Amino acid sequence: MIDLCLVGAGFIGPVHAANLAAHPGARLKWVIDLNLPAAKALADKHGARAGGDLAEALADPAVRAVIVCTPPRTHTPIIEAAARAGKAIFCEKPIDLDVARVDACAEVLMATKVPFFVGFNRRFDPTHRALHDAIRAGEIGRAEMLILSSRDPEISPPDYVAAMPYGIFYDTMIHDFDMLRWLLGDEPVEIYARTACMLDAKENPHRDPDTAMVVLRMAKGALVHVNSSFRAVYGYDQRIEAFGEKGMLISGNQQPTTVERYGKDGIRRDPLLHFFIDRYAESYKRELDEFVQAIEARTAPTIGFDDGRRALMIAEAGVHSAKSGSPVALPA
Amino acid sequence: MIDLCLVGAGFIGPVHAANLAAHPGARLKWVIDLNLPAAKALADKHGARAGGDLAEALADPAVRAVIVCTPPRTHTPIIEAAARAGKAIFCEKPIDLDVARVDACAEVLMATKVPFFVGFNRRFDPTHRALHDAIRAGEIGRAEMLILSSRDPEISPPDYVAAMPYGIFYDTMIHDFDMLRWLLGDEPVEIYARTACMLDAKENPHRDPDTAMVVLRMAKGALVHVNSSFRAVYGYDQRIEAFGEKGMLISGNQQPTTVERYGKDGIRRDPLLHFFIDRYAESYKRELDEFVQAIEARTAPTIGFDDGRRALMIAEAGVHSAKSGSPVALPA
Amino acid sequence: MIDLCLVGAGFIGPVHAANLAAHPGARLKWVIDLNLPAAKALADKHGARAGGDLAEALADPAVRAVIVCTPPRTHTPIIEAAARAGKAIFCEKPIDLDVARVDACAEVLMATKVPFFVGFNRRFDPTHRALHDAIRAGEIGRAEMLILSSRDPEISPPDYVAAMPYGIFYDTMIHDFDMLRWLLGDEPVEIYARTACMLDAKENPHRDPDTAMVVLRMAKGALVHVNSSFRAVYGYDQRIEAFGEKGMLISGNQQPTTVERYGKDGIRRDPLLHFFIDRYAESYKRELDEFVQAIEARTAPTIGFDDGRRALMIAEAGVHSAKSGSPVALPA
Amino acid sequence: MIDLCLVGAGFIGPVHAANLAAHPGARLKWVIDLNLPAAKALADKHGARAGGDLAEALADPAVRAVIVCTPPRTHTPIIEAAARAGKAIFCEKPIDLDVARVDACAEVLMATKVPFFVGFNRRFDPTHRALHDAIRAGEIGRAEMLILSSRDPEISPPDYVAAMPYGIFYDTMIHDFDMLRWLLGDEPVEIYARTACMLDAKENPHRDPDTAMVVLRMAKGALVHVNSSFRAVYGYDQRIEAFGEKGMLISGNQQPTTVERYGKDGIRRDPLLHFFIDRYAESYKRELDEFVQAIEARTAPTIGFDDGRRALMIAEAGVHSAKSGSPVALPA
């Protein structure tokens, strides 16, 4: 049984807390949040202790791991403190918004050698994983093109957008930048990005890009396209298409029911699942399970700090390309 | 090049006439109809001669074949006259509504030995045929259950209904009674049928059955279900499902386009093709092509008089079952 | 918080036990099974007490409800004992295989007035329920035809089959007999059934029917077809199609992933979910949740003893029809 | 009745000849080809005259229109000769491979004012057109992203490839460059392209690009992605996805039948139609019909010379981008 401390009782924290509660090998012992009432509410629900100060939880020798789900710019100090306290770390993506800070953090981690897991949950989705496994098993031979459609049903609130400019790269497509590395087992060497503001001034007052198209070249030659939007009115649109010398694999969308309604105007199915927490409910469970099992078995998680760092680098290069209008080379 | 005479310029006549016009090996020479203006209009369109008297066309030695598409109760005298004139015969289904008359007609045909083809067009639909060929190739092993859904978008006009009571058996499901024999390569030994009047008195003033469910047992043991309706508001619904020891085959519906429309209310596709002449356009071409080729090659058509007779017998037994409420045995 | 006692640690018992463990308002307090080691193993997993004697658990005043998942022929004495002890009852379907015994049991229940819930889990499947709600909302107007396909991937073990002859009615299609009542809000007045033995003597040594087709007429006029098989090699096949004056609703099958694999031989998707416990995982959770909430709120469950009795009556009439070859009338 | 002369009896010529033969308002009078036996064979099949010299046919006053389906580099002299002879012109795409030559040709056309139609057949596909009409009708509101997948099942023969380097732009994606203009009613202002050689040296001995990804920005702001390959082993892959503020429209692929095959390994459908002549059979008919009707009605075709010129300009800019690695601006 592993005791854990969750840092950040906000948006995604309760999802991880509920999954910990249902996990047979894990126990939520602490919930830490600067907003103490939020920490208390979440802790009470799951029989954990609440606190406003991380140090208190890190001092608890029973705590073996920390789940970091605070805003991205607060991640690195928490990671460093947890690492110095010898705790295993599960950190939400992105690790940070600044590669230099991430590199500094990497040094602390390397010195402490604590297990580190970055929460790219999409790798754990059963459908995406089946596509990954089929590529690896050679079903399409050499992969030649990869197309990722990654569209949110709505934009984040203005405060959230203001806190993370170019969030469509750092927060949304960063998932796709991780997925393309994982699916192809390859690294990109160049990125070209174009963005647009399609939402009106009321929905997107900061005029931050809400629409994007990206093309990447991979070291082994494959071409990759990513498109993203913050306005998929029909639901959370998450598709992957891998094309290769022997065929094509498509990971399609998901709907709440399979009902088909036939009428005079045609045949209608449900809109897509609207919310990422519904769409990726299973992924959130499975990533946490892998993290817990890796701690228990003292093995390295299959996804680590360098994966988080590389996805951030690609996002950063994509932002440079979008701003300059020219393709940007990526270091090998 | 085969010269043909078409008898019956009404509903389905123009479809066959146009297909003959486009056929490289056939030529429409005569159009005969008691309604001479109708015969003339159709004949003029295709450069054929028009007449009100079949004898005139049968006397033309150039005419090698006759296409019979008059109302069912007029078929047998036309067949007999054409047979006595030594012409090959393509006859629309049903051959007649009375098995005794069909048997009498059979004697004339046997005496003259002219080629005879009954127009069960569905056998020539590429999708249904692919299903048939897959059964024959053993894809599902022994066939255990067969389900045919056979639904029209609307009921025929009252006059048409009055002229053919229980038309849902004699005119609509007769196709399915032929299909089940052809698909399974087997004969039914028993039929049970239940009907209902679901349309209101305005749409269905004669209160003829407009809805039906049928169960048949086949000699080799398979169970068959047929359902039919005259009110499929979403289009002409034509599906076949064959279930067997190794799997299932489904022949699905067809739509005018593949467009999918994603919106807040869900994902919408086109309604089904509405009209049987659109849905089975290809079948009408292919059945006529087989008929013309069989005449040219002096081979027997793959579907003949006995197929028409057996489908009618099943329909008749089905009507008896529907009326009596009990299953009816079919002769081997 | 409701404390419950589970009776029957076999097949479906562990499913209910795990759902109770995850339920925020319920607690598994006892597991009773004549096979004491089985009871112990399941009880230990969830921190409950194990016993071989139901009386001990019924004597525990903390226990407010009993979950009955023993073999069908043992249900009525357990129900009666639990009712006399004043416990609420959740009973797996079928209540029993004999209508007379069910009627006797009904008298005890009526005397004690304990809440009773029969586990027709399919009513709680989100897709089937969406179809139900659409019918109720008038989406297809008057329902005219209902078609239920209900196919298991394999036959039960010979012992299980021997203990319940005609299990395809009593154990499998009984779900459909319940569904048709619930979906149409109507009662059948007549049933006609035909069965076959398609599996070979090794798979089906008792030559119990493994394939069935049924047609029912409903009091309000709709026609219903049910087909069933114990050999759907492509997975657990569960479809419902409701046809009415304004359109059609289809509740389709479910697959583990949405991956599509395009290759030279065509486009391939996953086979269906193979096992009913996977296919109806969500239904099992939701039915138990309704039961627990009904106890907590002291309201009647939406599905009760009479629903179990009526489904059994339809199954029994279906068996009579299959044996006699004639349709059987059902009492109003 | 319009008499026409077909120039070029090769690949696509017979398709147009057969469609003319079936057209009620058109008659194929001449077939011209430098390869006189080829011209003769095609002319004989349709009762037309054959010739090796275009001048002879252009001198025939009965000929009102010319269909140009010779190799692209021979188009402009034929167009100019036909224009000077006052004939209406239907020209296969691309008009030429060199914008300067196209501009010179435009001057001749402007002087003669003969009707000109460029054969971008995809505009006439019923499914693509339904998508176009839905955009125009405002179904998705403002179009924000457009994705075109345009993949051939195999590469052209080496001679054909050698005669048209970067044919993936000039011959294949030129269709998409036309489609994006037509669908969005807008012009691109910038193009970025990346290509790869994925086929091996035996299949692609000239190492001409066989795989491409393109991103374009449109004047009104929409972002467009085109991907193309010469190795879609599962068939001719032709999809369009239009995303906008109110939803998404998808024009999907087409298959020879709707059969679904359920087995232990999953559910299999047919591969896609393999050949563009099958996939776009209806488009070829409809574009010719529009051309013939426009001549008859003396109205301008809906797609003209400037459409051909603009698609070529986009292709040319795309090649510059692919060669330079940088985005290329397009003139307004």
Residue D248 pLDDT exceeds 80: yes
Which chains have at least 3 CB atom pairs separated by less than 8 Å from chain B?
A: A, C, D
pLDDT bin (cut points 50, 70, 90) of residue C21 is confident
C45 vs A contacts (CB less than 8 Å):
none
Q: Is some CB atom of chain B closer than 8 A to the CB atom of A271?
A: yes
pLDDT bin (cut points 50, 70, 90) of residue A270 is very high
B47 vs D contacts (CB less than 8 Å):
none
Q: Considering only alpha carbons, which residue of chain B is nearest residue C212?
A: B223
Instruction: Say how far apart CA A81 and CA B142 lie, in whole Å.
Output: 68
Instruction: Say how far apart CA A215 and CA A218 lie, in whole Å.
Output: 10
**Cβ A184 vs Cβ A146: under 8 Å:** yes
**ipTM of the modeled complex:** 0.96
Mean pLDDT of A316-321: 98
pLDDT bin (cut points 50, 70, 90) of residue C199 is very high
Q: Is some CB atom of chain D closer than 8 A to the CB atom of B245?
A: no
Element (H, E) at D319: helix D305-324
**pLDDT tens per residue across span D45-74:** 889 999 999 999 999 999 999 999 999 999
**pLDDT tens per residue across span A82-141:** 999 999 999 999 999 999 999 999 999 999 999 999 999 999 999 999 999 999 999 999
Residue C167 pLDDT exceeds 90: yes
Instruction: Say how far apart CA C323 and CA C169 lie, in whole Å.
Output: 12
Name the pairing type of β-strands C88-92 and C116-119. Answer: parallel
pLDDT averaged over every residue in chain C: 96
Instruction: Say how far apart CA C227 and CA C248 lie, in whole Å.
Output: 19
Q: Do D265 and C268 lie within an 8 Å CB cutoff?
A: yes
Q: Is some CB atom of chain B closer than 8 A to the CB atom of A250?
A: no
Write the DSSP assignment of C125-170 as a string of letters: -HHHHHHHHHHHTTTTSSEEEEEEEEE-SSPPPHHHHHHSTTHIII
Q: Do C268 and D270 lie within an 8 Å CB cutoff?
A: no
User: What integer pLDDT is reported at residue B268 of this predicted model?
Assistant: 98
Residue D81: name the closest of D60, D54, D111, D61 by CA: D54
Q: Do C262 and A251 lie within an 8 Å CB cutoff?
A: no
Q: Is some CB atom of chain A closer than 8 A to the CB atom of C259?
A: yes
- C29 three-state secondary structure: strand
Q: Do A217 and D232 lie within an 8 Å CB cutoff?
A: no
Q: Do D261 and B249 lie within an 8 Å CB cutoff?
A: yes
Q: Is some CB atom of chain C closer than 8 A to the CB atom of D270?
A: yes
Residue B332 pLDDT exceeds 80: no
A194 vs D contacts (CB less than 8 Å):
192, 215, 217, 223
Count CA within 13 A, CB hemisphere, residue D44: 6
Residue A264: which of B234, B262, B266 has the nearest Cβ? B234
Task: Please state whether the predicted TM-score (pTM) of the whole model is above 0.80.
Answer: yes
- Chain B closest CA to D208's CA: distance in Å? 33
Q: How many CB atoms lie within 10 A of CB D112?
A: 16
**pLDDT tens per residue across span A93-103:** 999 999 999 99
Give the gyration radius of chain D's Cα atoms.
Answer: 20
Q: Considering only alpha carbons, which residue of chain A is nearest residue C252?
A: A258
Residue C332 pLDDT exceeds 80: no
C267 vs D contacts (CB less than 8 Å):
234, 268-271
User: What integer pLDDT is reported at residue A332 of this predicted model?
Assistant: 72
Q: Do A192 and D212 lie within an 8 Å CB cutoff?
A: no
User: What integer pLDDT is reported at residue C96 of this predicted model?
Assistant: 96
**pLDDT tens per residue across span A180-211:** 999 999 999 999 999 999 999 999 999 999 99
D225 vs A contacts (CB less than 8 Å):
213, 215, 225, 227
Q: Is some CB atom of chain C closer than 8 A to the CB atom of B245?
A: yes
Write the DSSP assignment of B60-95 as a string of letters: -TTEEEEEE-S-GGGHHHHHHHHHHTT-EEEEESPS
Q: Is some CB atom of chain A closer than 8 A to the CB atom of C256?
A: yes
Residue D332 pLDDT exceeds 80: no
D230 vs A contacts (CB less than 8 Å):
none
Residue D268: name the closest of D280, D277, D260 by CA: D260
Residue A268: which of B233, B268, B272 has the nearest Cβ? B268
Instruction: Say how far apart CA B200 and CA B169 lie, in whole Å.
Output: 20
Q: What is the 3-state secondary structure (H, E, C) of A131-170?
A: HHHHHHCCCCCCEEEEEEEEECCCCCCHHHHHHCCCHHHH
- Chain D closest CA to A135's CA: distance in Å? 16
Q: Is some CB atom of chain D closer than 8 A to the CB atom of C233?
A: yes
B218 vs C contacts (CB less than 8 Å):
none
Q: Considering only alpha carbons, which residue of chain A is nearest residue C127?
A: A257
